[in-house]
Homo-oligomer: A and B are copies of this chain.
Amino acid sequence: MSSLHAVIMAGGSGTRFWPASRQRRPKQFLPLANGKPLIEATLERLHGLVAPEHVWVATNRQQAKALAKLLPNLRRERLILEPEARDTAPCIALAAATIASTDPGATMIVLPADHVIEPIDAFQTMLRAGAALAADGRTLVTFGIPPTHPATGFGYVECGAPIANAALPAFTATRFREKPDRATAEQFLAAGNFLWNSGIFVWRIDALRAAMDAASPPLAASTTAMLAAIQKQEKAATTRAFLQAPAKSIDFAVMEKAPAVAVVRANVRWDDVGSFPALAGIGSADPHGNVAVLADGATHLTLDGKRNIVYATGDRTVATFGVHDLVIVAVDDAVLVCPREQAADLKRLVEHVRAAGRADLL
């Protein structure tokens, strides 16, 4: 039977959680999983499903040191270093080549480092169902979340014909859609056969490579070259081959064109926690709708405050008095105050910070 590996993609940077997140300390480092860093929770979700020596973390040089420190149990040789941030397709190709260099028949789970997913047993059930579908050596499997509202911040997968005999409801994926506008999202929700694209995949590496051959010959060629270079332990050649991979998402480069893609309907609570307002969905609110995500001893005191989102770390107290619908972030060297409705637009502020000559804060 094909052995199961997991690759956690932890290379994202992202400024949507500034000033809590920084270039060298992006979202997956934040204690958004019940006070635990998201990536730590992601690793824990794999316990009992994937053998520790088969768990890989793909990241970049900038974050590698902090990641190794955060995850002392992760073996150093299981860190896959992306030579450059080039979207998910090259990252997945490098991970596939790395695993294939010693285990070419492996089945590979790919999952983002920075999502909130509960509960663990449903998550593992979902992955097992996906792995079973992928066992035919042909099918690429993705996981879809039943949408609860017409979200414009997620991608969608359209479900076609149901797949018989799957352990969970599963369908042929007929279309991948990037983040839609509001009207389109409402159509998807009304249609009933669209699921949120969780960004989690499972496939046999040989199936992935075959799909690359069909969907993106340059990506396939890059993967083959990386595999050869890794087998010869030629780092420079590996890097060269990586840089020849098209800088595209795996959805766009492969999934949309692959001959056999299945989507498993996942019965998990899932959130990609895209920005501070999303904390309202993962934290528990007080009777006035205030949500506080606190770590490392931080506390929150509120009087006459409503619907505020507070994120604080370290030995500090955030007091909110008579304010409402604000996002308040307090970390060691920075404080942010902005309206909830404006927090999704934090990129503008980050650009302003850069323009103000304060790249040291990014």
Contacts and interface: CB of A to CB of B under 8 A. Distances in A.
A158 to B, nearest CB: 36
Contacts of A361: 317
A166 interface: no
A316 B335 contact: yes
A303 interface: yes
Interface string A323-356: 1001010101111111100100010110011001
A335 B318 contact: yes
Count the copies.
Answer: 2
A344 to B, nearest CB: 11
Nearest to A304: B342
Contacts of A338: 319-323
Chain A interface residue number, banded: 35 or more
Contacts of A301: 349, 352-353, 356, 358
B303 A320 contact: no
Contacts of A334: 316-319
A339 B319 contact: no
A175 to B, nearest CB: 37
B332 A316 contact: yes
A315 interface: yes
Interface of A: 19, 299, 301, 303-304, 312, 315-323, 326, 328, 330, 332-339, 342, 346, 348-349, 352-353, 356, 358, 361
6 contacts: A299-B358, A316-B334, A319-B353, A320-B337, A321-B338, A321-B346
